[in-house]
Structure formats: C-alpha cells, structure tokens
Structure 1
Amino acid sequence: MEKRVINPWKWQDARNYAQAVEVTNVQGTLYVSGQTAIDDNGISSNADMRSQLLQTLENLEKVISDADYELKNIVRLNIYTTDSASLFENFDVFQNWIQKNEVKQSSTVLEVKSLFETLKVELEATVIK
C-alpha cells in the first residue's frame, strides 16, 4: 500500500488533517460504521462531550484493531456532532489521538440535529491496508 497526502497549503497541518489522501496498491479497504460512546453492553453514554469523545475513539480503535488494520492507515475520518462548540472546546482530545497514532486523514466535521439516544459525537472511518 502506498499513501500520498496532498496539501496545497500549510494551515491544515495545525488542524491535523489533509486536504486529500491518495492511496494506491491497496490490499484491503475497511469501511467503519459510525462509532459512538456506546459501552460493551450497548448502553449509550449520557456523559459530557469530552468523555464521549474519549469512549468513541476507544470504540473506533477496537473495531479497526479487531479487523487487523492499523490506525495510522485511516485515510478518511468524518465527525458528526450535535454540538460543534462543545466538540471544538474538547478538540485537543481528537488532535492528540491523531498525532499519537500518526494518522493523516481527510476529514469533514458536520453538526447534526441529533444522534442516537443521548450521543453527542460519532466518528466514521475508512482504513486501508
């Protein structure tokens, strides 16, 4: 697998995403459903945004790991939230996770009217091998 990040500018580097990611010679592609702060028993979190974001990232890691893919090979990561202001107040959690796992992904952040039950954030990923 070969991955090439396309960034015509430098400003997105501080926001930890890429304008585009080209992938060639792929052995596999994993399309991950939206992951949220739902526990192992299927119970939705009613915690604050920071706690939900942490649990959502843990759940995303578990799915990717169980599929035998690597976090650093996430090429697209979309973020859905019911509260953009709260998400961006806690965005350091997301950015630290991106940096720690050496992810270089294209991303879109969308504020939505609602998510399932009490959920505040959902992450949808595409990972390559």
Structure 2
Amino acid sequence: MKRTILSVFIMTTLVMISCTSNADKKSKEVNDSNEQQSEIKRQAINPDNDWGAGFEMNQAEIISGFSEIIKFSGQTSLVPDTSAEMGLGVKYPGDQRKQMEFILNSIDNLLEQAGMERKNIIHVNFYTTEMEGFLENYDVYSNWIKMANIRPTQSAIGVNQLVSPEMKLEIEVTGAR
C-alpha cells in the first residue's frame, strides 16, 4: 500500500514538474489553440422538478463543440511531508471542509496549466469517507462551481477509506474544450 501511495505521488509530481517546466513554452501554444477553438455547447437534460438545481448539477448534459478532453486523477489533500514515513502527509487531517477548499484550489491550478477554466468542467466524481460531512460542506463546491455559471453532472460516492485514514475527500474531474 505504501509503495502504491509513493508511486502515485511520484507520477503526479513528475507530471506536475513536466507541466510546470514546459508551461512558458506551451503557454503561447495553448493561447493560440484556444483562440481557434469554439466554446463547448451544453444542453441540460433534467426531470421536470429539476431537483439537481439546488446542488448546481444537471442530471445529464449533451456536450458538443469540443476537440479535447482532460481527465484528472483523483485530487486529494496529500502534500509532501519529510517527517512522514512515506514522505507524504495529509493537509488538514480529518477536516473535510478545508480538504475540499484545498482540492478545489488544486483543480483550479491544474486547469490553468492546461489552458482551461472551471467552465470547461463537464463531470465531477466525489469520493468521501463521510457522506454526512460531505453534504454539510457541499456549499464549498457549490459556491466554487457557481462562479463558472455551469452545472456539470456529478456523482458522490461513499467509500470506506481513501489512501490515508485522515483523508476525507477525493475529487475527480473531467473537462473539455
């Protein structure tokens, strides 16, 4: 298990280093390609009562007008920690609200590196070890996504444990442009 955590962290770090070191060079390429691409089109599909509106989500969406998809690995609150056994620690151990804020900030940073924005998100998966706490803190996500004026499809999945027992939340995102 510890080797798996370290392997995932090393791969993620290498990808982030690669993205960061090539950011300046690719920045112009991304900006040039963004100018040539049209906006994605979304058609919301919801039941008559549209209960998902209260959660900033559509039950389904027809997405068109895109040429690229970005798939995120599960984003967590793991951070380098030289004092930890595997060199990784959990930021805000046990605090689901702070972990969600931290993860959403990480998602913003990765979207920016990819030349995308929140409005490019088309699906979100939440994995939580504590569904009640997740729902109590859902306003953090709701306010965050509301700024993009979109309602991407989403799933909230309760799990027994994530990579670390102190971790309460993992978020996967899919985006398109």
1:99 has 2:140 as partner: no
Query: More strand per residue: 1 or 2?
Result: 1
Q: Report the TM-score, using the length of structure 1 for normalisation.
A: 0.91
Spell out, residue by residue over 1:99-125, the C-alpha distance to the aligned partner (whole angstroms, 9 max, x if none). Answer: 122232110100101111121101101
Equivalent residue for 1:128?
176
- Cα distance between partner residues in 1 of 2:63 and 2:135: 29
Of residues 68, 77, 81, the one that matches 1:37 is 77
Q: Report the TM-score, using the length of structure 2 for normalisation.
A: 0.68
SS in 2 for 1:94: helix
Mapping 1:41-120, distance limit 5 Å: 42-45=88-91, 46-117=93-164, 118-120=166-168
Measured at CA, do residues 66 and 40 of structure 1 come closer, stay the same or move farther in structure 2, by a change above 3 Å? farther
Which ranges of structure 1 fall in alignment gaps of 5 or more residues? none
Asked which structure has the greater RCO (Cα within 8 Å, sep 6+), the reply is 1
Q: CA deviation at 1:38?
A: 2.4
Query: What is the aligned residue count?
Result: 129
Moved more, 113-122 or 42-51: 42-51
- Cα distance between partner residues in 1 of 2:148 and 2:94: 25
Check conservation: 1:79, 1:108, Cα contact below 8 A: yes
Please tell me the residue identity of whatever aligns with 2:68: G
Which ranges of structure 2 fall in alignment gaps of 5 or more residues? 1-39, 82-87
Q: Which has the larger radius of gyration?
A: 2
Q: CA deviation at 1:73?
A: 1.6
Mapping 1:17-28, distance limit 5 Å: 17-28=57-68
